[in-house]
Amino acid sequence: MLLRVLGTAAGGGLPQWNCACPGCSGARAHPHRRRRHASLAVQVAEGRWYLVNATPDLGDQIEDCPDLHPGPGVRRTPLAGVLLTDAELDHTLGIARLREADRIRIHATAPVRGALLDRLRLGDVLTPYAALEWRELGGRDEPLEPGSPVTASALPVAAKRPRYAAGTGPDADTWVVALRLRDRTTGRTLVYAPALAAWPDAFQQAVEAADCVIVDGTFWDDDEPRRSGFSGRTATAMGHLPIDGPGGTAHRLAALRARCLYTHLNNTNPLADPAAPQHTALTELGIEVAADGMEITL
C-alpha cells in the first residue's frame, strides 16, 4: 500500500490568509515552512488512487503529486474517489473542485453525508455537473475497489459536528472517525485520525495493531488556543487532544510499536517552526511530524 501525504495543516493552512502570528509570519518569510491542508492519497490498485479528505488545496495538491496527474487519455484520471473522516469545511470544500468529473465517488458516514447534502446542499450544487455516488463508510473492512487488496473502515472518535451543522442530524460518535486502511496482501495497516477529540478503547486496540499511525497534532498543549488569543476554549474543548501535557497523546504514541506521525498542525503550534525544541522532544520519543509530499509504503 502506497500513501502520499498531500498536506499536514489544520484549517486555514500555513500561513493562514488573515493571520500574522509567528507561525504564519515565519511561513511567509520561509516558504519551506508552508503546509497545505491535511490530506492523504492512497493507491488501491495500479493507476487507481483515493483521496482521504478533499481540501480547499485539492487542485494544487494533485498538481504536486505526479501519481495523481491525468493521462494518457485526455480525460483519464487515476483519482477514483474520496474518503471523508468528518464533515468539516477544511476536509470537504475540495469536493466542489472535482465537478469536472462525470462521477464523484464519496465514502462517508451517515451523519457526514447528511450534513453535506442537507446543510451544504452539495447534491443540489454539484449534480448539474457530475453525479455523486455515495458509499457508506462503516466499521467493517470493505474493499475500496473490486479486486483491490486495500480495505477501509471507520473508527468512531467523536460526536463533534461542524458549526454549520449545529442542531441537525443524529447525536452520533460517527460525526468524526479515524480511518483504518489495510492491505490484505501484506497484512499491514494504517490508522489515520486528523481530528481526535477522544481516545476510545476501540481506537487504542486499532493503533496497537497498526503498522503506521498518523494522528491529530493540531495543538501542542491544551492551553495553546487561549494563550495564542484566538479562542477562549482549550484544545480539548475545541475537539482536539493536545500532543503534550496531561491527557496528551505523545505518551500514548510512544508506547506503540507502529511508526507514529503527527498531522493537522495549527498555525499556532510551535512545531510549525522546524527549529522549535518540541521537535527534539518528539524525536526522543520516536515520534515524527509528517511533512507535505512525504511518501509512506506499507
Residues β-bridged to residue 252: none
Tens of pLDDT, residues 122-174: 999 999 999 999 999 999 999 999 999 999 999 999 999 999 999 888 889 99
What pLDDT was estimated at residue 230? 87
What's the whole-number mean pLDDT along residues 28-44?
A: 97
Degrees, nearest 5: CA angle 51-75-94 = 30
CB proximity list for 282: less than 8 A, separation 6 or greater: 243, 250, 262, 271, 288, 289
Tens of pLDDT, residues 238-254: 999 999 998 899 999 99
Q: Which domain holds residue 38?
A: 2-297
What's the whole-number mean pLDDT along residues 53-77?
A: 96
Distance CA 273, CA 189 (A): 30
What pLDDT was estimated at residue 160? 92
List the CATH number of the domain containing 66: 3.60.15.10
Confidence band (pLDDT; 50, 70, 90) for 29? Answer: very high
What's the whole-number mean pLDDT along residues 33-52?
A: 97
Distance CA 287, CA 283 (A): 5
- Total number of domains in the chain: 1
Least confident of 24-28, 166-170, 208-212: 166-170
Please give the span between the terminal C-alpha atoms of the chain, in angstroms, as a whole number: 5
Distance CA 206, CA 215 (A): 13
- Comparing CA positions, the residue from 234, 228, 219, 192 lying closest to residue 278 is 219
